[in-house]
Every structure is written in C-alpha cells, then in structure tokens.
Chains A and B, each alone.
Chain A
Amino acid sequence: MTTAAPDAPLLKVATLTKTFGGFTALDNISIDIRKGERFGLIGPNGSGKTTLINCISGALRPQTGSVVFCGEDITQLPPHLRARRGIARSFQIPRPFRSMTVLENLMVGLDFAGASSSLPEEDVAMSILTRMGLASKAGTPTDTLSQVELRKMELARAMAMRPKLLISDEAMAGLSSSEVDEVLDLLISLGEGDITIIMIEHIMQAVMRFSERMMCLDAGKIIAIGAPAEVMANKRVQEAYLGT
C-alpha cells in the first residue's frame, strides 16, 4: 500500500463508467478530491450521484475506470476493506442496525473500522454522540428515533470509523428547515478537522453554504464543476433541474 505524496489528491476517480443492462448510470466520470476539501455533489434524481458514491464506497463495481484512494487502487476492494482504509458513508434512506441501541451501532463502526486508540471504546463512542447531540439517546433502540436523530446517528456511526473521507448521502432530505440547519452545522463543524467530506444534497442553500467546490451530474455525466456560485449560475445546471 503506497502512501500518497503530500500534494496528491485524497481520492482520484478516473474514467469511471457504470452500466446496468442497457442503462448507463455513470459515463466516463473523472474527478479528483483534495484532502480536507468540502465537496458538494448535486444533480437531478437519477443523475448518478448515489451510483458514484456506491462505486467509491464499494457497494458497486464499475464496468471501466478506477478509484484510487490515498495512492492505492481500491477499485476491486470489497466495501469493508475500503471502510478500514478510511472511507465512511451515510445512506440516503438510513440503515441503522435495528436490533441495537444507538451506542451499539457506533460500536460496530469503532470495532471494525475505527483505528484502535488507548481510550476505552465506549468512552470514544460517547464522546462522538455528545458531539452530535445524541448523548441522551445512547441506550435507546434505533426503532424509536426520529428522522433527524436517525440521520445524525448514521453520521455518528460513520464518524466512529475515524474516516479520512466522509460521504453524506442526502442526510437532510425530508427534514424541517431547523433540522436541516442542525445537520448542516454538524457537517460544517466536522469538516473543520482533518477530514474530507463529500455532501450529496438537493437543498441548494445547504450545499452552497457547505461546499468549497461543487460538481453537478446529469444523466451520468459531469456538466459543471467549480466554485459553488459558478456552478449554480451555470445554464446547463439550471436546465437540468428545471427542464428546458
């Protein structure tokens, strides 16, 4: 496993193509994500955002192209090994471990992907929960959590994995505006550390506030990439969302 040179990108996606039968979900996607970046990913429904995330996290394998993380080609690596190398994600529809409490959910991430530390695991997990505002829910079974609590728990579980790259997949979908702010502030504060974050979102103000750089997908292709204001002003982006 090679370590990346200091100025090399954290994540390098090259000529990634993913098809399902006759349908092309990703068409020759290439993108470099820099270390510590706050990267926003937008695009209309079906444009390939989650497919791209699935190829990065390992849930899917692309037809062609490669995914290189910290200088290592992880294209064929199963998801759990990518998780251990520092890629963590939340899911568009939350996927908690239903027979476990909130704390136990985090323990899975800590046990299997979080790098070992000298502190007892439960203390580490509790400190993460405290940071996310979920400390009071530590012993609660996940089936009683509200939507926003579920989303935060997913992010907490991802953080328990001590990731280098955190991918948040529409963590704010369906939330009230105050809840959106809650989650957004959380993600921004997480981004202040060493960690690199990719955020997929539909809520435009949130993505714009969060991102240092943004990319818009449409029908599996990149149609715009750059500073948030630039991307939002792009004609093609506006057409993709509103239709011609």
Chain B
Amino acid sequence: MFSMDLLLGAVVFGVLLGCFYAAVSVGLSVSFGLLDVPHVAHPAFLVLASYGVYQLNESYDIDPLLAGVLLTPLFFLFGLLAYRIYYETFERRGSDAGVRGIAFFFGIAFIIEVLIILQFGVDQRSVTATYIGKAWRFGEFRIPIRQLVAFAVALGLTVLLAVYLSKTFMGRAIRAVAQDEEALRLMGANPVRIKQFAFGIATAVLGVAGALLIIVAPVEPTLDRAYIGRTFCVVVMAGLGSISGTLIAAIILGVAESIVLTMFGASWAPAISFAMLLGILAVRPQGLLGR
C-alpha cells in the first residue's frame, strides 16, 4: 500500500534533489545549450571538482563549500584553456569535426576518470563538515541538513548565473553570440573571446557544483556516467539556452527520480533521466522554454 506520506516525502526530497541537479547542469546549459559545444565531458569535470574539494577538505580541513569557491578561479582558467583547444581544433574545421569533437570530449572524460582512479582509487570518498551528519526534524519528515545546504547554495548559484546572463553586459553578449555571431562581429566584438569567456564561466560554476556533489552524497570515479544523462536531460528539457528553464526542468527530473527511487529502488534511478531525455527529444525537442 502506497502511503501519501511516502509520496509527499519523495516529492519534497525530489525538489531538493532537483535544485541540486540544476546547479550541476547550469554550466552545461551555457556550454552546450548556448555555445553548442558537444561537452560530454561536463560531468567528468564535475566529478573532478568534487575530488578537488575532497582533497582540500581531507588535507587542509577546509569546509567543502569554501573549497568549491576556492576551486572556482582554477576551473575558470581550465575552461578558458579547454575552449581554446576545442575551438582551434574543431570549430574551424569542415566535415568530420562533429565526430572528432564528440570523440575528443569522450577521451577527455575518460582520461579524467582514469586519473581519478589512479590518484584516489575506486572507493567512495566523502567530506566532513559541521552540517553533514545532522538532520532537521520537520513534522514527520527528517531532512538531512546537508541536503538543505545543497538546496540553498544550488538555488543561489542558479539564480546568480541567470541574473548574470540577463543583466550584465558580458552576460548579454554571451546570449547574443549564441543567437547571431555575425551581428556581434559587425559590432566590433570578438565572438570567439566571448564564447571562450562563457565556457570559462560554465566550467567555473562546476567548482561549487562539485562541492555540492560531494556534500550531497559520497563520490566515486565512475559517477560521471550517471550524471551525463541527468545533466543533458535537464538542459534539453529546459530548452537549449534557457537558464531559467534549467531550474524548472531540474526539479521535474528530481521529483521523477525521487518517486521512482521510492517505488522501485535505487538501481533504476539513472535510467529515468535517459528515458526523459529521449522522451522530450521525441515529443518536444525544443524543450519547455526553448530558444
């Protein structure tokens, strides 16, 4: 017998989970949604960030969120470099660039995964912090504090990025370059520089997102595979290029996964995102709030 309480709990948990998914996907919304880069290594970067947070937490006892913030400038530079390589090698070439671009990111993701295994081993890693381990009692529900922390930070991060892209000059330039590169060039701006900067921002966000990843649950090197479905599902469902849509789409995914988790167990949860991705592509490929 399926109780209302259980369902309600699943929904609440799903909303929290969804906001977290939004934070880890919002970078892809920029890199794939706006810039059209076939960035299948996005989840690998995310996991890499989480291991970076782990290292800082483990060796220097730094709070994971703080560690994430510290990693942000490093990942920004990493993003700049990655886009430079991608652009020089693939955007400029003619045919075959599509295959090679995808293979390139697949190779990068794989290299990251193996490097993590070599450095940290295959076992799960987690962080310690004051808010991890405690739970908040709310009526009949028991919500772990770390989920709430992740929820709050994720929400803040997503809103921050959305505001940045719509209100600041650079943010609007990024959205403009996604729509009409030629026009931007005619206005004297360098579209490649702008795209590179955007990719840098998309990667920088992963610093904090990685921290959230390891706060919410322990990480292990192959986690990127589970997240490729989730992140792409969120970005496509939102509509390529829609940052605000990312939050809504992520919450829908989070709730769906949470309900399936409660009803059918954990092993089927990763399949949900892929199923939803295929469903959206078949039925409404432009997403909910597409460009």
Encoded as 1 (CB less than 8 Å from any A CB) or 0, chain B from 78 to 101 comes to 000000000000000011100000
In the assembled complex, which residues on chain A have CB atoms less than 8 Å from the CB atom of B286? 21
In the assembled complex, which residues on chain B have CB atoms less than 8 Å from the CB atom of A99? 95-96
Complex Cα–Cα for A98 and B12 (A) = 53
Complex Cα–Cα for A21 and B291 (A) = 10
Complex Cα–Cα for A44 and B215 (A) = 57
Chain B contact surface mostly: loop
Encoded as 1 (CB less than 8 Å from any B CB) or 0, chain A from 121 to 161 comes to 00000000000000000000001000000000000000000
Complex Cα–Cα for A99 and B98 (A) = 14
Residues of chain A in range 99-128 having any CB-CB distance to chain B below 8 Å? 99
Encoded as 1 (CB less than 8 Å from any B CB) or 0, chain A from 6 to 33 comes to 0000000000000001000000000000
Nearest neighbor of B93 in chain A, beta-carbon distance: A98
Residues of chain A in range 60-105 having any CB-CB distance to chain B below 8 Å? 97-99
Interface size class for chain A? under 10
Would you give the shortest CB distance from A63 to chain B, in whole angstroms?
Answer: 15
Chain A contact surface mostly: loop
Nearest neighbor of B96 in chain A, beta-carbon distance: A99
Nearest neighbor of B286 in chain A, beta-carbon distance: A21
Complex Cα–Cα for A21 and B96 (A) = 32
Complex Cα–Cα for A70 and B46 (A) = 57
Complex Cα–Cα for A216 and B199 (A) = 43
In the assembled complex, which residues on chain B have CB atoms less than 8 Å from the CB atom of A21? 286
Complex Cα–Cα for A99 and B94 (A) = 9
Encoded as 1 (CB less than 8 Å from any A CB) or 0, chain B from 139 to 171 comes to 000000000000000000000000000000000
In the assembled complex, which residues on chain B have CB atoms less than 8 Å from the CB atom of A98? 94-95
Nearest neighbor of A97 in chain B, beta-carbon distance: B95
Complex Cα–Cα for A143 and B93 (A) = 11
Nearest neighbor of B290 in chain A, beta-carbon distance: A21
Complex Cα–Cα for A187 and B156 (A) = 61
In the assembled complex, which residues on chain A have CB atoms less than 8 Å from the CB atom of B95? 97-99
Would you give the shortest CB distance from A206 to chain B, in whole angstroms?
Answer: 25
Would you give the shortest CB distance from B199 to chain A, in whole angstroms?
Answer: 26
Would you give the shortest CB distance from A49 to chain B, in whole angstroms?
Answer: 20
Would you give the shortest CB distance from B80 to chain A, in whole angstroms?
Answer: 30
Encoded as 1 (CB less than 8 Å from any B CB) or 0, chain A from 155 to 184 comes to 000000000000000000000000000000
In the assembled complex, which residues on chain A have CB atoms less than 8 Å from the CB atom of B94? 98, 143
Complex Cα–Cα for A97 and B95 (A) = 8
Complex Cα–Cα for A21 and B287 (A) = 12
Complex Cα–Cα for A143 and B286 (A) = 33
Would you give the shortest CB distance from B201 to chain A, in whole angstroms?
Answer: 28
Would you give the shortest CB distance from B245 to chain A, in whole angstroms?
Answer: 14
Would you give the shortest CB distance from A95 to chain B, in whole angstroms?
Answer: 11
Complex Cα–Cα for A21 and B95 (A) = 31
Complex Cα–Cα for A21 and B286 (A) = 10
Residues of chain B in range 63-112 having any CB-CB distance to chain A below 8 Å? 94-96
Nearest neighbor of A100 in chain B, beta-carbon distance: B95
Nearest neighbor of A20 in chain B, beta-carbon distance: B286
Complex Cα–Cα for A91 and B94 (A) = 17
Complex Cα–Cα for A52 and B15 (A) = 45
Would you give the shortest CB distance from A141 to chain B, in whole angstroms?
Answer: 10
In the assembled complex, which residues on chain B have CB atoms less than 8 Å from the CB atom of A143? 94
Encoded as 1 (CB less than 8 Å from any A CB) or 0, chain B from 268 to 291 comes to 000000000000000000100000
Complex Cα–Cα for A97 and B94 (A) = 10
Would you give the shortest CB distance from B200 to chain A, in whole angstroms?
Answer: 31
Complex Cα–Cα for A153 and B95 (A) = 18
Q: Could you list some 7 contacts between A and B, CB below 8 A?
A: A21-B286, A97-B95, A98-B94, A98-B95, A99-B95, A99-B96, A143-B94
Chain A residues in the interface with B (C-beta under 8 A): 21, 97-99, 143
Q: Which 7 pairs show the lowest CB-CB distances between chains A and B?
A: A98-B95, A98-B94, A99-B95, A143-B94, A99-B96, A21-B286, A97-B95
